[in-house]
A and B are shown apart, each in its own frame.
Chain A
Amino acid sequence: GQQVMQIPQYQHVQEGEDFTTYCNSSTTLSNIQWYKQRPGGHPVFLIQLVKSGEVKKQKRLTFQFGEAKKNSSLHITATQTTDVGTYFCAEDQAGTALIFGKGTTLSVSS
């Protein structure tokens, strides 16, 4: 079935470095959502992108939706230790459910 592919699976950065995770699909997406899961926690909604080429910012986080609506990215500027966790993208499945990517786990050392 359809599934978004996320890369990289793991990323370690030094505090203050930037971080980017990518989400790719072989099909055109109606929209895409991003979630963050802290270690030992549960996924928490971050944002939804709907329009082609859309860019949204939340403080140090920048989310992009590709022009062809087949890919998306999450970029964190100047990472902090509070950014540690796993970031998931999720695609809309026929308007009834979400299919999640496998996630990118970010670790940050100070």
Chain B
Amino acid sequence: NAGVTQTPKFRVLKTGQSMTLLCAQDMNHEYMYWYRQDPGMGLRLIHYSVGEGTTAKGEVPDGYNVSRLKKQNFLLGLESAAPSQTSVYFCASSLIGAETQYFGPGTRLLVL
């Protein structure tokens, strides 16, 4: 099992460009999460999903959209990237809510 995978690993964007980060899990987990990690700020929840076809806002949802069309995939979209969105993005999944979360390796995003 690959666990949780994320693509791409690293990306550079110009302000105003759009992109989609892909998260995939092969553990048949119901719940999936997107976090961003910035120095000194810990892990902040952007959006999450409690099952296929569902999404919910986390602590810092502004500027991001998500979709969960398939149970194993959770997509994070940036419609118009801003330098403030420069961060490391982690995806995680869990079998049920608030239980052990399994994290992907992360995506480093730089917005110029």
Q: Which residues of A line the B interface, CB within 8 A?
A: 1, 6, 9, 31, 33, 35, 41-45, 48, 88, 92-103
Contacts and interface: CB of A to CB of B under 8 A. Distances in A.
Interface of B: 31, 33, 35, 40-45, 48, 50, 56, 58-59, 90, 92, 97-106
Given A43-B43, A100-B42, A92 B98 contact: yes
Contacts of A6: 42
B106 A42 contact: yes
Contacts of A95: 97-98
A97 B45 contact: yes
A43 B33 CA distance: 13
A105 B35 CA distance: 19
Contacts of B92: 43
25 contacts: A6-B42, A31-B98, A33-B101, A35-B101, A41-B105, A42-B103, A42-B105, A43-B43, A44-B103, A88-B43, A93-B98, A94-B98, A95-B97, A95-B98, A96-B31, A96-B98, A97-B31, A97-B48, A97-B58, A97-B97, A98-B98, A99-B45, A102-B40, A102-B41, A103-B43
A43 B45 contact: no
Given A9-B40, A42-B106, A98 B101 contact: yes
Nearest to A102: B42
Contacts of B31: 96-97
B98 A42 contact: no
B42 A101 contact: yes
Contacts of A100: 35, 42-45
A97 B33 contact: yes
Given A44-B103, A97-B48, 15 more contacts: A1-B59, A9-B40, A31-B98, A42-B90, A48-B99, A88-B42, A88-B43, A97-B33, A97-B58, A98-B33, A98-B98, A100-B35, A100-B42, A100-B44, A102-B42
